[in-house]
Structure 1
């Protein structure tokens, strides 16, 4: 707009000056036809032309100059001709030839203004042959031009203000939504995937906002899938029964789960990101890790560790390779197989014990039967004694097989318990009645301290089996004249889950301290000679232990050699049935 204004101003100035030139040329033409020329060679020619120039100056408001053909000034409306220079070489004089009009613009030193000079060659019949020149100050033109400049500046200012207002509104309509989109994009880049662009526009900016919202939705969905997968992986790692430890290609621990922390007795933050050599407290495992990293192949090994108790750990190492064959690290699995190996030992011992227990009565039955068949016994009393032994050993063999089958069913959870209220006083009265003959035979006093109206929920037959075994053992291992006692008390009356504690104590031979941890094992006997002589199978306490656990009870023993033993069983008042879970 400014360039257009400058161009228009210049055009205005040029057109105004051309108009002045044309007017001045017409005035010269008018003078040529009306002016009373005289010969410039006359004595009073200078005075004549000077006087006429001044008259014309008043009429045309222009400076009039009469110039001879040789450039000599013979009349001027403002200065005396004799004081003026020769004008032959003036631009307007040189350009005025023939019928053409010469013009020039230059600064006048005389009046200190820019002047417009217009000249024309004039030749009259009276002998004048020279130039008539009109000149006019351009000050008026400058005033008109300045006025135009002021008008243009005012118009430009108004136009600029209008354009600024319109531009501000247009820019605000563009920049505000763009700033909003930029803020939302920055929030999304800062992991705030709930940020959304709120724009109700159908143009390109609205489409950009919808695209960013779609991108945020996609990122949020992908992040949720990643988080869900990560949570699932963490849950799987945390709940694995085996320990997992990963060593990356740089020899640093990159992953460890909860079970590995437990086995290695350390916390993840203590070892993650650190060299595997920091596992030096677990020397055996550290050496295995070192071997696996060196070999970079599948390795498996079992090692005994002492930390502080003896454990049997199975170590597995698996190398990890990318699809392109690049090595990524080693994954190590730690499995505590102590209990498994102990169970294997117990199973082997069980098989050996069963074989031994079965072999003894079978050998006796076979030996005595062969003696009788051979006819070596002629005495009827001896023959009857042999047959009694065969019968007793058969009964013992039957009890042994029955206890083995019973224990097998109990351990495999194939014994359904039928819960019902059980009156403990009546239960123990019936047991005492059954065992009283055996106690009387050894002069053993049987005592009980049981609340009169105490009921618990349980399987009466299985509870009877538990206490029959405990009391039978107490009678068997109590010397003549001793005591066997049953005490029942209620625990935790003010607590949520009340319990009943049943204590079966005797004044028998007691159990050595070294044997206490193993007395509930199958076929384990403290006094093997006494057990066999009493007809025991060695499975009674094992059956008691399993039946107690089926009733959600806890069984423990306290004993001192020579003073007696106490078996303490704690049972809940109420059982949790499967349909209540």
Structure 2
């Protein structure tokens, strides 16, 4: 019994020495990936077993042949242990990373949902309060002169249009997120779509003396759903006009790059903060200037921060991609779509 206790103590001491070295290695590598930590842990465990066996074998004064047999046996077991541990360790690491990414994505989605509810509630509350005040004023006869009554009627129409656009945006975004968007793909001349979008944006741009400039040629034909593509172009143009200062310029051009067609909307907004660029297409994200509608915007400012999120959803539904980057005196939105065969 005393011999067994001595063997246990010797093996335990050798294994503890290896364990201390493994713990020190794990501490030095604490900033590395989960896979590296698992590999070090497995190697330390196998090395601790091997050290205990070797020390005990030496203490028992085994012959060279018997010691060699023991070491070969331990080595074979170590190879199998390390191989199985590495395989399942990688799976465990991948599962841990996936779970962390899923939790982070869920947190982002939940935060976006809360922001969306808060901002949309604000954007609805403001026009509703104005509509109620103007309706009560008309009903109670507080305003009687024709000019003021006509102005109240005009403002009621503007605010109603503003809420209608917001509800339409919410419906479109819900279709995209729910996967209920059905596209009728066909060859669509991009130049025709851009021309219609420019005509719709022209009154707002003219009110603020913003120049709309379009390339005269080079417009490709893309594979797209015309209605959704028109929504993409209109949202980008409205966004550019909305953020461009008075007397600025918004330019749109296009071209073809291999199997992709592209078009770009460039404004003179002065640039976007670098911290905002990765979040620009997130649902309900709006930079600080968006919180205060510009005068003469015709109610466009009440978009709830959904316009660019809809752009990304529609472009990706077409199999394309959209990106944004700062240029010299503004920013450039670039959309790539499959070119028509």
TM-score tier after normalising by the smaller chain length? 0.5 to 0.7
Would you say 1:264 and 2:38 are equivalent positions? no
Would you say 1:525 and 2:322 are equivalent positions? no
- Check conservation: 1:425, 1:450, Cα contact below 8 A: no
> How far is the alpha carbon of 1:470 from its aligned partner?
0.8
> How far is the alpha carbon of 1:451 from its aligned partner?
4.5
Is the deviation greater in 413-422 or in 515-524? 515-524
> How far is the alpha carbon of 1:408 from its aligned partner?
0.7
Distance 1:265 1:505, change over 3 A: farther
Question: Within 2, Cα distance between the matches of 1:408 and 1:532?
Answer: 28
- CA RMSD in angstroms, aligned pairs only: 3.0
- What is the total number of aligned residue pairs between the two structures? 255
Would you say 1:540 and 2:307 are equivalent positions? yes
Would you say 1:355 and 2:121 are equivalent positions? yes
> How far is the alpha carbon of 1:532 from its aligned partner?
6.1
> How far is the alpha carbon of 1:454 from its aligned partner?
2.6
- Check conservation: 2:254, 2:262, Cα contact below 8 A: yes
Q: Is the radius of gyration larger for structure 1 or structure 2?
A: 1
CA deviation string 1:441-494 (max 9, x = no partner) = 333332233654732211122111111111122222223332221222222x3x
- The residue aligned with 2:323 is 556
- Check conservation: 2:222, 2:340, Cα contact below 8 A: yes
- Check conservation: 2:223, 2:337, Cα contact below 8 A: no
> How far is the alpha carbon of 1:365 from its aligned partner?
1.3
Structure with the larger RCO, 1 or 2 (CA within 8 Å, 6+ apart): 2
Match of 1:418 among 181, 184, 188: 184
- 3-state DSSP of counterpart to 2:129: helix
Unaligned runs of 5+ in 2: 1-21, 23-31, 46-91
- The residue aligned with 1:78 is none
Question: Within 1, Cα distance between the matches of 2:279 and 2:293?
Answer: 16
- 3-state DSSP of counterpart to 2:36: coil
Distance 1:351 1:543, change over 3 A: same
* 1:195-214 equivalent positions in 2, closer than 5 A: none
Question: Within 2, Cα distance between the matches of 1:566 and 1:452?
Answer: 18
- Check conservation: 2:190, 2:221, Cα contact below 8 A: yes
Report the TM-score, using the length of structure 1 for normalisation: 0.40
- 3-state DSSP of counterpart to 1:266: helix
- Name the structure where strand makes up a greater proportion of residues: 1
Question: Within 2, Cα distance between the matches of 1:373 and 1:350?
Answer: 34
> How far is the alpha carbon of 1:525 from its aligned partner?
2.3
- The residue aligned with 1:401 is 167
- Name the structure where helix makes up a greater proportion of residues: 2
Report the TM-score, using the length of structure 2 for normalisation: 0.66
Question: Within 1, Cα distance between the matches of 2:162 and 2:231?
Answer: 18
> How far is the alpha carbon of 1:273 from its aligned partner?
5.9
- Check conservation: 2:252, 2:265, Cα contact below 8 A: yes
- Check conservation: 1:485, 1:506, Cα contact below 8 A: yes
Match of 1:506 among 247, 251, 267: 267
- Check conservation: 2:210, 2:247, Cα contact below 8 A: yes
- The residue aligned with 2:72 is none
* 1:96-495 equivalent positions in 2, closer than 5 A: 264=34, 266=36, 268-272=38-42, 274=44, 334=96, 335-336=99-100, 337-449=103-215, 451-452=217-218, 454-491=220-257, 493=258
